[in-house]
């Protein structure tokens, strides 16, 4: 890597701040270019797949989308098989889910995309086990980054503070040729950069005030009358409550209910189940009435979309990159985070290994930004239409209106039209670009095709002989 980034010639040490999935996968990539890689993690890693404090949404639903699976398998061959072996369920869309959106039930035709619904602790555990088996990669646990060493021209390390050490133990500097911030949604890199005389990135924010709550259940007799794997009732600007039921390992299910600012779901067990009565159909409430709770209810409110524009010009040091949620974080209700972490790591790999271009800090950072763009366009594009959306990027521009009009026609046809539905799901699964929604067959069906009929009641059984 180029001297400016500090990775092609003479790279000795790379430091990754954060042992999240984004940080672990970044370390996996950097190990091919540095003599050694150190992951700095403020938590102590659990031995078994367990939630940890540094992942506050770790008890909530997570999915690994098709595009994320493909990227993950490129980086860690065999990892998808590991997920299956450890019981992470595979859900096919639209076949396996009873799905409602904008007043219509989706036809349960054969699946065109599949995603894993294993818990976040399981996925992170399997990735961490693979990554830390590499002798070039080590982890410093129970330690937090509190600043950057260097100046506005180049970062030369990270200032570390051991957690629980008290004031008597001074911070220390861990020297590095390259520092990658993968510390997540709560990144302090803007302050760190300002402290060394550099320019923080401009932030784009869209916040709907969405909050959600999740509880673990055993299904009991809950699915005796159908062959589905879960439910998904999707909120929209006219109907702002959401609910989802998905399987996880061990024969259990996670149930998440959501509402906007001022209508947050409660974390009391009885009140949580009563909150399901606000959903536009009783199908999920009826599922809950038959299921057995296995955990407390856990709430989460940090759901804003935040994008830090490190790709834009500014006085920023060489040798510093941001990835994962530290670069771009999405409303978690769209289930994109783990997949974007994997896709971004592939983008990092490709940018560093590109023989045609010198991988400068800015060029690699732009590649990381591009890797997160489609997910941002999906989540931020949907959220800016929700009532009460706030933030610097929440305003709809005139240029957005033709695209919004076309996407509305896509959404109207996706529940009943297999051609439109397949293209729509693939784009949402980050397995095809958004431009695939304008492919000729999809364009014809969207502009000239009718809105096809869909089930009048919740489709508890898959279609047979579907087109």
The predicted pLDDT at position 432 comes to 98
The predicted pLDDT at position 27 comes to 98
Give the span between the Cα atoms of 417 and 415, in whole angstroms.
Answer: 6
* Tokens linked to 9: 């010639």
With beta carbons less than 8 A apart as the criterion, state whether 203 and 195 touch: no
Tens place of pLDDT per residue across the chain (467 aa): 444 565 444 569 999 999 999 999 999 999 999 999 999 999 999 999 999 998 989 999 999 999 999 999 999 999 999 999 999 999 999 999 999 999 999 999 999 999 999 999 999 999 999 999 999 999 999 999 999 999 999 999 999 999 876 667 889 999 999 999 999 999 999 999 999 999 999 999 999 999 999 999 999 765 556 799 999 999 999 999 999 999 999 999 999 999 999 999 999 999 999 999 999 999 999 999 999 999 999 999 999 999 999 999 999 999 999 999 999 999 999 999 999 999 999 999 999 999 888 899 999 999 999 999 999 999 999 999 999 999 999 998 888 899 999 999 999 999 999 999 999 999 999 999 999 999 999 999 999 999 999 999 999 999 875 44
The predicted pLDDT at position 467 comes to 47
DSSP helix/strand/coil, 97: strand
Q: Write the burial class of residue 305 (CB in 10 Å: 0-12 exposed, 13-18 middle, 19+ buried).
A: buried
The predicted pLDDT at position 399 comes to 83
Give the span between the Cα atoms of 342 and 67, in whole angstroms.
Answer: 9
- Pairing status of strand 230-234 against strand 292-293: unpaired
Domains and CATH numbers, the chain: 13-62+123-205+303-381 (3.50.50.60), 210-300 (3.30.70.2450), 400-448 (no CATH)
* Tokens linked to 245: 């039921």
User: SS in 3 state form for 269-334?
Assistant: HHHHHHHHHHCCCCHHHHHHHHCEECCCCEEECCCCEEEECCCCCCCCCECEEECHHHCEECCHHH
Phi-psi domain of 256 (left: phi exceeds 0; alpha: psi -120 through 50; beta: other): beta
Cα 411 to chain centroid, rounded:
22
User: SS in 3 state form for 349-387?
Assistant: HHHHHCCCCCCCHHHHHHHHHHHHHHHHHHHHHHHCCCC
The predicted pLDDT at position 2 comes to 41
């Amino acid at each position: 890597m180029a001297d400016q980034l500090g990775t092609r010639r003479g790279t000795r040490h790379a430091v990754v701040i954060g042992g999240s999935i984004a940080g672990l996968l970044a370390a996996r990539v950097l190990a091919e270019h540095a003599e050694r890689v150190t992951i700095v993690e403020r938590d102590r890693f659990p031995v078994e797949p367990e939630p940890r404090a540094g992942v506050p949404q770790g008890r909530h639903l997570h999915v690994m989308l098709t595009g994320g699976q493909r990227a993950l398998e490129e980086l860690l061959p065999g990892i998808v098989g590991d997920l299956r072996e450890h019981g992470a369920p595979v859900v096919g869309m639209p076949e396996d889910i009873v799905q409602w959106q904008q007043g219509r039930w989706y036809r349960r035709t054969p699946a065109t995309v599949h995603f894993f619904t294993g818990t976040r602790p399981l996925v992170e555990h399997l990735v961490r086990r693979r990554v830390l088996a590499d002798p070039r990669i080590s982890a410093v646990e129970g330690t937090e980054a509190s600043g950057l060493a260097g100046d506005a021209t180049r970062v030369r390390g990270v200032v570390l503070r051991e957690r629980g050490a008290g004031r008597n133990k001074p911070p220390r500097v861990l020297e590095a040729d390259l520092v990658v911030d993968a510390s997540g949604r709560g990144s302090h890199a803007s302050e760190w950069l300002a402290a060394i005389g550099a320019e923080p990135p401009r932030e784009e924010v869209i916040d709907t005030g969405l909050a959600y709550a999740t509880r673990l259940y055993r299904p009991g007799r809950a699915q005796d009358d159908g062959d589905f794997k879960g439910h998904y009732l999707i909120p929209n600007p006219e109907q702002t409550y959401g609910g989802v039921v998905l399987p996880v390992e061990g024969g259990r299910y996670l149930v998440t209910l959501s509402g906007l600012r001022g209508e947050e779901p409660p974390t009391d067990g009885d009140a949580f189940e009563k909150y399901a009565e606000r959903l536009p159909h009783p199908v999920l409430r009826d599922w809950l009435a038959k299921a057995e709770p296995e955990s407390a209810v856990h709430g989460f409110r940090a759901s804003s979309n935040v994008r830090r524009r490190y790709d834009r010009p500014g006085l920023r040091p060489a040798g510093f990159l941001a990835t994962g949620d530290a670069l771009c974080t999405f409303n978690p209700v769209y289930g994109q985070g783990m997949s974007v972490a994997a896709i971004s790591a592939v983008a990092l790999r490709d940018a560093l290994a590109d023989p045609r271009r010198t991988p400068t800090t800015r060029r690699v950072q732009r590649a990381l930004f591009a890797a997160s763009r489609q997910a941002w366009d999906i989540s931020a594009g949907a959220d800016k239409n929700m009532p009460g959306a706030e933030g610097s990027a929440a305003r709809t521009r005139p240029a957005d209106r033709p695209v919004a009009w076309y996407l509305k026609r896509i959404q109207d046809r996706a529940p009943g039209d297999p051609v439109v539905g397949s293209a729509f799901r693939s784009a949402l699964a980050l397995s095809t670009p958004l431009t695939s929604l304008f492919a000729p067959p999809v364009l014809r069906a969207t502009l000239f095709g009718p809105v096809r009929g869909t089930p009048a009641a919740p489709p508890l059984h898959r279609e047979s002989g579907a087109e």
